[in-house]
Every structure is written in structure tokens, then in C-alpha cells.
């Protein structure tokens, strides 16, 4: 089958990892092994003379969803109009027949005629690079009709891509996997992120922060969040169109030992210089709940009763944003900590509830968890008042149980006094002049 423009046609020439006779059976699987990337090439034949005047090709990149458009032509035989027709033909065939999701092309930054063609075809500037004193610009085009059908990469493929990236980067000396994908006790679902630590030579540590071209090789990006963790560490959280999210933490080698031994959920994937000794198998012991001291226990309860009064005062003043901030960020956070201590007691403090105690539901009795959910109000002030009063009895029940189990003294009268005080505030009329 020929692909035609007004003055030439394309003939299948050669390919890599795919027989020419199999091209008509495309679209091919987009998820390929690392060493099985596709390369498809066509010869450009002029209709009038049947002369071959160049080639165009599609080269699959390591992210598996992007193909690079490559062309080698006789400039005297092919003018700008014909070049634009060829590129449009290649784009249409790639998107409509091959079901490719993303195309990219690199041209010299001074090739203004070609850049104007790419812009007319809807391609957008992605990055500018220097290679051997030659300025290049990269343009990309995404087939958004294909994005809803984009298949999420497998975990083995994601791991292979990160490993290959580190192997190719001379300045990155150690690759370590961390995070919940190594935690046997954590639920793993479709949206679970991938966490890696990349240890970089001190002299070039900031290179990956200052120039972020490298991240586009992992796939079509939705959004990136950058966080400076310290003078010797920064984090890129990258969300891709296929649903995969990569958290890549770059750490200077000068901070190697501190970073390694602060985390037990870790596994060394690649150590180019053999700097690290064998590590224990990944486990979540560094994240276990800690049993509170008697002072910490009573301080938490004191905070809870104090913030109840703070919320009540803000409610009286109709300061909605302050109510929301104190109630959710101060008060509920401490209630959640109290419930986590109840769970810690049951599991002898060898339990990890995850970030922000996200797995409370897995370990609390259903009745207590439902009461806990009842503490989350809507934005109606009356609803917050109802939750405050309900919270008083709820906290007393949990606090007494924990104090008795740990053998701690707990003055429950403090909560009773605060609850009565809350009722006094709630009964005040608007613009009251006396606290009566």
C-alpha cells in the first residue's frame, strides 16, 4: 500500500523489530520491552520520475508512546510545499492508522522555514537544546483522541525505564526504590505512585533541577510538582497521561548515608560504584506508631479541649475560614492521633497507618469509625456546633480506654468543664455585651 501526496508517494522500506509484511496488521502494541523499540522507514518516490529523493521514518522512544519523526531528503528535489505535504501525511498516518499517541521532531533552531511548517501543522515547541555547538528545537504533537485509550504502563516497564535512564546518566551513581510499593502491608491499587531516589555526584547535583528536559523521555506529562527538600535534595513528582506517577528524589552523594539509613522501605536497584553494603529487606518498621508518654497523652487531650473553645469562639464571630482551619487542621488532626493510639495498643505498636493515618478504616471497629466520620462537618455553622458537642463524649470514651490500658492518670473532668463552657458560648446572643 502506497501513501500519496500530490507529487510523490511513500514505499515501505525497512523496519526494526517488525516485519515489513506485518505493517498492515498495525496498530501494534505500544507497550514494548526496552530492547524491542520499533523503527519504521519509508522511501520517498517522486511520481513523475520514480526517483527516490529521500526517506522518512518513525522511531519509537523509550517512553513507548512517543515516536520521533526522522527525515533525510534531497533539498534540491523537495521544496517546502512538498515537505509540508510529507509531514502532514506522516502525521495523519501515524495518528489515524498506526494509532500513535505522540510525535516529536527535532530541527535546527535557525531552520525558520521548517519551524513555520511545524507550527502550521499544529506542533508546539517542547524544548531547546545544544548538541556540539548546534542549537536544536524539539516540537511535539499529541493525538488527544488516543489519550482516553492510553494503556497504563506495567510496573515492570516503569521500573525498566527508570533503570535505563540511570544507566545512561553518568552523573547518577545510585538508584534506590522507596515507598509503598515495597510495603507488603500497604494496599496497592491502580493509582499507587512509584518512588525512587537518585544519588548524584555533588558537582553536578543541580543539573537535573536546572534543566528538566530529561523528564519528557518518560512519557506525555500532565503536570509536574517540584519541591526543594533541603540543600542536598529535591523532588520531582510527575503525573503522566497514562495514569503513572513518578516521584523522583535527587540527592547529593554527600548525603548518602543519612538518606539510606533514615528509611527502611528501600531497595538498592543499581550501585555503580559498590558504595553500599547489603541492606535489610524492605519493611515499614520506620513508620510504626510510637507509644505516647503520659505527658504526651495528656498534652494531646489538653490541646483537644483547648481547640474546641477556639472553634466555638470563631463560630460565635461567624469567622468561617478560621472555624474550618482550626477544626480540620488542629482539632480533627489530634482526634485522629488519639484514635491511632487506640490501634497502636491493639497491635503492640507494630503497625503503620500511612501518611495522615490514611488507613484508620482498616483497623478501627466499624462503629467507632462511623462515629469518627460523623465528626467531619459540612460548612454550616450549626453542623459544626453539633459535631463539637458530639466530639466531647466521643473523645472521653476513647481517652479513658487508652489511659486505663497504659496505666496513665487522666482527668476527665477537664473535658466536662470545657463542654459546659461550649454550651455557654453557644447560648450567647449575637453582639452580646456580657458573658452570661
Cell of 49: 520520475
**3-class DSSP assignment, residue 150:** coil
Between 402 and 20, name the one with better pLDDT.
402
Give residue-wise pLDDT tens across range 198-230. 999 999 999 999 988 888 878 888 889 999 999
**Which pLDDT score, from 0 to 100, does residue 147 have?**
53
Given CATH 3.30.460.10, say whether it is the number of domain 155-284. yes
Buried b (16+ CB within 10 A) or exposed e, 10-40: bebeebeebeeeebeeeebebebeeeeebbb
Give residue-wise pLDDT tens across range 387-399. 888 888 899 999 9
Region label for 283, one of left (φ > 0), alpha (ψ between -120 and 50) or beta (otherwise) = beta
* Average pLDDT value over all residues in the chain: 84
Q: Which CATH number fits domain 294-426: 3.40.120.10, 1.10.10.10, 1.20.120.330, 3.40.50.740?
A: 1.20.120.330
Is the confidence at residue 24, as pLDDT, over 50?
no
Q: How confident is the model at residue 33 (pLDDT cuts 50, 70, 90)?
A: very low
Within the chain, what is the greatest distance between any pair of CA atoms?
102
Give residue-wise pLDDT tens across range 53-80. 888 888 888 777 889 999 888 766 678 8
Is the confidence at residue 262, as pLDDT, over 80?
no
DSSP symbol at 379:
S
The radius of gyration of the chain's CA atoms, rounded to the nearest angstrom, is 31
Q: Please tell me which of 3-7, 54-58, 158-162, 335-339 the model is most confident about, judged by mean pLDDT.
A: 335-339
Q: Which CATH number fits domain 3-148: 3.40.630.30, 3.10.350.10, 3.40.1640.10, 3.40.1350.10?
A: 3.40.630.30
**Count of beta carbons in the 10 Å neighbourhood of residue 211:** 10
DSSP E strand boundaries for 221-364? 221-230, 233-240, 245-252, 266-271
Report H helices in 262-331.
294-316, 320-325
Q: How confident is the model at residue 32 (pLDDT cuts 50, 70, 90)?
A: very low
What integer is the mean pLDDT of 398-409? 92
Give residue-wise pLDDT tens across range 120-154. 988 888 888 888 788 888 999 888 665 555 577 88
Is the confidence at residue 342, as pLDDT, over 90?
yes
Buried b (16+ CB within 10 A) or exposed e, 419-436: beebeebeeeeeeeeeee
β 134-142/194-200 pair status: unpaired
Q: Name the residue ranges covered by the structural domains of the chain.
A: 3-148, 155-284, 294-426
Give residue-wise pLDDT tens across range 273-285. 998 888 778 777 7
Cell of 148: 482516553
406 and 341 in contact (C-beta within 8 Å)? no
Beta-bridged to residue 48, according to DSSP, are none
**Which pLDDT score, from 0 to 100, does residue 381 have?**
55
Beta-bridged to residue 136, according to DSSP, are 108, 129
Separation of alpha carbons 27 and 12, rounded Å? 16
Question: Which of 21-25, 29-33, 57-61, 151-155 has the least mean pLDDT?
Answer: 29-33
Between 142 and 1, name the one with better pLDDT.
142
Q: What is the pTM of this model?
A: 0.59
Amino acid at each position: 500500500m502506497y501513501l500519496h501526496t500530490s507529487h510523490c508517494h511513500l514505499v515501505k522500506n525497512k523496519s526494526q523489530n517488525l516485519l515489513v509484511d506485518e505493517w498492515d496488521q498495525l496498530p501494534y502494541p505500544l507497550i514494548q520491552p526496552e530492547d524491542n523499540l520499533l523503527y519504521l522507514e519509508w522511501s520517498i518516490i517522486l511520481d513523475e520520475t520514480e526517483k527516490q529523493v529521500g526517506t522518512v521514518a518513525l522511531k519509537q522512544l523509550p517512553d513507548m508512546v512517543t515516536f520521533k519523526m526522522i527525515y533525510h531528503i534531497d533539498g534540491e528535489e523537495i521544496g517546502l510545499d512538498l515537505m509540508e505535504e510529507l509531514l502532514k501525511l506522516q502525521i495523519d498516518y501515524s495518528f489515524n492508522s498506526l494509532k500513535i499517541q505522540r510525535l516529536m521532531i527535532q530541527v535546527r533552531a535557525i531552520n525558520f522555514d521548517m519551524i513555520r511548517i511545524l507550527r502550521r501543522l499544529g506542533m508546539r515547541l517542547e524544548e531547546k537544546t545544544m548538541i556540539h555547538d548546534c542549537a536544536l528545537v524539539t516540537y511535539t504533537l499529541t493525538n488527544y483522541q488516543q489519550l482516553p485509550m492510553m494503556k497504563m504502563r506495567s510496573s515492570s516497564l516503569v521500573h525498566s525505564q527508570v533503570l535505563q535512564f540511570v544507566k545512561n546518566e553518568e552523573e547518577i551513581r545510585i538508584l534506590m526504590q522507596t515507598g509503598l510499593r515495597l510495603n507488603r502491608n500497604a494496599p496497592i491499587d491502580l493509582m499507587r505512585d512509584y518512588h525512587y531516589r537518585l544519588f548524584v555526584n555533588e558537582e553536578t547535583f543541580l543539573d537535573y533541577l536546572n534543566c528538566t528536559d530529561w523528564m519528557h523521555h518518560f512519557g506525555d506529562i500532565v503536570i509536574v510538582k517540584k519541591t526543594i527538600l533541603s540543600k542536598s535534595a529535591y523532588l520531582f513528582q510527575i503525573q503522566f497521561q497514562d495514569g503513572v506517577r513518578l516521584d523522583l528524589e535527587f540527592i547529593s552523594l554527600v548525603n548518602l548515608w543519612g538518606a539510606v539509613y533514615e528509611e527502611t522501605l528501600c531497595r538498592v536497584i543499581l550501585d555503580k560504584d559498590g558504595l553500599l553494603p547489603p541492606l535489610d529487606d524492605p519493611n515499614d518498621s520506620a513508620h510504626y506508631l510510637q507509644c505516647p508518654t503520659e505527658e504526651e497523652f495528656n498534652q494531646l487531650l489538653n490541646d483537644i479541649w483547648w481547640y474546641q473553645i477556639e472553634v466555638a469562639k470563631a463560630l460565635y464571630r461567624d469567622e468561617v475560614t478560621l472555624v474550618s482551619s482550626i477544626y480540620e487542621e488542629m482539632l480533627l488532626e489530634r482526634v485522629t492521633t488519639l484514635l491511632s493510639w487506640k490501634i497502636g495498643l491493639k497491635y503492640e505498636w507494630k503497625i503503620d497507618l500511612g501518611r495522615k493515618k490514611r488507613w484508620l478504616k482498616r483497623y478501627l471497629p466499624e462503629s467507632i469509625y462511623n462515629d469518627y466520620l460523623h465528626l467531619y462537618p459540612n460548612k454550616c455553622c450549626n453542623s459544626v456546633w453539633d459535631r463539637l458537642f458530639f466530639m466531647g463524649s466521643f473523645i472521653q470514651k476513647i481517652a479513658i480506654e487508652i489511659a486505663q490500658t497504659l496505666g496513665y492518670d487522666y482527668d476527665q473532668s477537664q473535658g466536662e468543664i470545657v463542654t459546659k463552657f461550649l454550651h455557654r458560648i453557644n447560648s450567647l446572643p449575637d453582639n452580646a455585651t456580657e458573658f452570661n
